Amino acid sequence: MGPGLGVDLDLLVVLVAALWGAGAGALLPRAVYRFAAPSGEAWRERCPGEHPVRGWLGRARCAQCTGERQAYGPGAGLLAAVTAVVCVALAGATGARPEVAVWLLLAPVGVLLAAVDLRVRRLPDPLTLPLAGAALVLLGLTALVPEHAGEWTTALLGSLALGAGYLVLFLINPAGMGFGDVKLALGAGAVLGWYGWPTLILGTFAGFLLGAFYGGVLLVTRRAGRKTAIPFGPFLIAGAFLGLLVGAFTA
């Protein structure tokens, strides 16, 4: 494969990632609304007007409602833009290596989890646990493909290590760390561990740093107190995203 062909292939991957991210993100609003259910409910079954919500993908709008109630979820444009940016960044860092397909498949789920946690401060089991399992299975298949740049063994160990670390934090301070974060850490540890322990440490540290910075801003602006609970899932996901970018770029 010549240098020119390599550059063209990488560009094609980025373009596909942009289209995939925009398309997948545009389908997330209904899933965000349904999973952003009150504590004790697995997901929402009805719109704010008490009409049944059918399906999981697409716009969060109810044809039977009128006025402001017709649109009951986040806008598709914002979710499409965020998902596209995430996918393009991952594709740009990874290039045409086979694991890029895994990152693109998992990225919309990460955006969905972050959006749900921001809305209701919970990370649904139907998303967190399958994410970890899918990450390990997909990376295991990727390890069989030539020209990959990671190790499935460290992905598995990274998943167990990060999950165990978050479990310890949860047991020490249940009020400061939700059990949903523990389950999400299994998936984050898998993707970070693929590129090795330094990437895992970097992504973990970045997540805590971002969370601490956000909490500090809230304290300084008096929008929260020292005991105010904040959703940590988005920062765990953002830290994993940043660590994955560095790991993919330097692999």
Per-residue pLDDT averaged across 137-145, rounded?
Answer: 97
CA-CA distances (angstroms) from residue 64 to 26, 56, 186? 22, 17, 40
Residue 176 pLDDT greater than 90, yes or no: no
Q: Report the chain's mean pLDDT, rounded to a whole number.
A: 90
Q: Which residue matches tokens 């059990």?
A: 179
pLDDT of amino acid 6: 46
pLDDT at residue 3 greater than cutoff 50: no
pLDDT tens, 18-70? 999 999 999 999 999 999 988 778 899 888 888 888 899 998 888 777 665 57
What local confidence, expressed as pLDDT, does residue 1 receive? Answer: 41
* C-beta of residue 227 within 8 angstroms of C-beta of residue 239: no
CA distances from 159 to 46, 119, 165 (A): 35, 26, 10
DSSP code of 68? G
- What is the pTM (predicted TM-score) of this model? 0.91
pLDDT of residue 68: 56
Give the amino acid at 247: G
Four-residue CA torsion sign, 204, 207, 209, 211: negative
What is the C-alpha separation between 235 and 251, in angstroms, rounded? 24
Does 84 have pLDDT greater than 90? yes
Q: How many residues can be counted in the chain?
A: 251
